[in-house]
Amino acid sequence: MAKLWGGRFTKETNKLVEEFTASIEFDQQLALEDIKGSLAHVQMLAECEIISLEEADTIKNGLETLKKKIENEELEYAVEHEDIHMNIEKHLIDEIGTVGGKLHTGRSRNDQVATDMHLYLKTKTTEIIQLVEQVQHSILVQSKANVDTILPGYTHLQRAQPISFAHHLMAYFWMFERDKERLVDSLKRVNVLPLGAGALAGTTFSINRERVAEILEFDSIYPNSMDAVSDRDFILEFLSIASIMMTHISRLSEEMVIWSSQEFGFIELDDSFCTGSSIMPQKKNPDVPELLRAKTGRTYGNLMGLLTVLKGLPLAYNKDMQEDKEGMFDTVKTLDGSLKLLAPMIETMTVNTGAMRKAVTEDYSNATDLADYLVTKGLPFREAHAIIGQIVLHAIQQKKYLLDLNLEVYQEFSPLFEEDIYEVLAPENVVAARNSTGGTGQTQVKKQIELAETKLKSVEKV
């Protein structure tokens, strides 16, 4: 079958080359975007009197027919037509005749595919922002229910200081808030129209690129035609943001895996997000958070893959750039699925407050408060630190915790200790004492939650 571009060639394309270079297997995901861009393009061509109104109407009707077939999954794609653009153009010509060939006036597949990807990421970025907000909502639900739930906070995975479980969860809310802000900001770069740049140098036709941007609701157009067809920064930025977000998802997933282990027992994931063992009947495996951790590698790989593809490319378009799509599609799919699972998994998990309470009373994570106590009595912090270190060592040797030691023992190390140290050491008071802005004290955590709710509501209004 003759290619739509085959006039200059004397031989048919080698079948292996045809299969190797074709992108239709994956870029058919851009079918609706391709139709949308073409409808705007043909409208502009008619308004600029480059084609007649009658021709434009015929082409529009043909494109609308193909759009319905795409939506109903009735359109068939052929490898010999290489990509989504040529497949649609071939179907259009079959549908309305040779006038369909006028659709490609004043454009190239180079600016066409770039436009399709801009349109695709505009939609997907907006959808992902909404999914991030669902995760944030789930975090808020659990946080509001666990302001007074206390567990050990960790550094180096060693118990450090008692904290509110809500405070711990809210750390992830703010991570996702930054992810969301990055996505919102990236839309500035996504919302730039490349169509009308042609293959690389523009076109001889008197087109109106600004009009196409208006129809497609783009904020601006690329001012340089070569940059327009070769720019993939907007995809790199999306892949970078997605990789950072998957890092956050992975960190939270790791904690869920640890917390749900028998050794910790801080939470229990809902049965609907776990699986069993084919041999060990007692097992309840946290497969979902484990897979979320693993899928982070896919997003990293997709980012590194495209960076590598682009790093040495001369201007303008090169066939190498066909490799920009599969990683983008895969990352969108990975992020979409991960966020859709993460939100309900967080909201439905059971918090074992008893296990958390037991953990925070059977450690030395209140030691810093003893040091602060001595500081309030006038002792320099470094001296106080040394004294408390000796007390902790003594308690460990006696197989006791700080709350178990008698006042006489404390006073052997420093006469500054008084009966009120037991109030200072109580986990609730340890947490409440950290009332500095952004701290884990219950008052501050409640303020933090209020701020977070305000942010989500302001987004909903927009």
- Where in the sequence numbering do the catalytic residues fall? 156, 277
CA trace torsion 35, 40, 41, 45 (10° rounding): 140
Tell me the sheet residues that pair with 150: 164
Q: Which helix (H) or strand (E) holds 153?
A: strand 150-155
**DSSP structural state of residue 440:** S
Please give the single-letter amino acid code of residue 4. L
Q: Is 198 exposed, middle or buried (0-12, 13-18, 19+ CB in 10 A)?
A: buried
Please give the single-letter amino acid code of residue 79. V
Question: Please, what is the Cα angle at 423 between 417 and 426, to 5 degrees?
Answer: 120
Compute the residue count for the chain.
Answer: 462
Q: Express the helix, strand and coil content of the chain in percent, nearest 5 each.
A: 70, 5, 25
CB 193 within 8 A of CB 220: yes
Q: In the numeric block, which tokens belong to residue 356?
A: 């958390």
Q: Is 392 exposed, middle or buried (0-12, 13-18, 19+ CB in 10 A)?
A: middle
Q: Which of 245, 219, 242, 216 is nearest to 112 (CA)?
A: 216
Buried b (16+ CB within 10 A) or exposed e, 63-87: beebbeebeeeebebeebbbbbbbb
In angstroms, rounded to a whole number, what is the distance separating the alpha carbons of residues 253 and 301?
19
In angstroms, rounded to a whole number, what is the distance separating the alpha carbons of residues 367 and 250?
31
Q: Which helix (H) or strand (E) holds 164?
A: strand 158-164
Task: Please report which residue ranges of 225-324 form alpha helices under DSSP H.
Answer: 225-230, 233-259, 287-310
CB 34 within 8 A of CB 85: yes
The structure tokens 């074709």 sit at 22
Indicate left, alpha or beta for 428 from its phi (over 0: left) and psi (-120 to 50: alpha).
alpha
The pair phi, psi for residue 88, each rounded to 5°, is -65, -40
CB 238 within 8 A of CB 186: yes
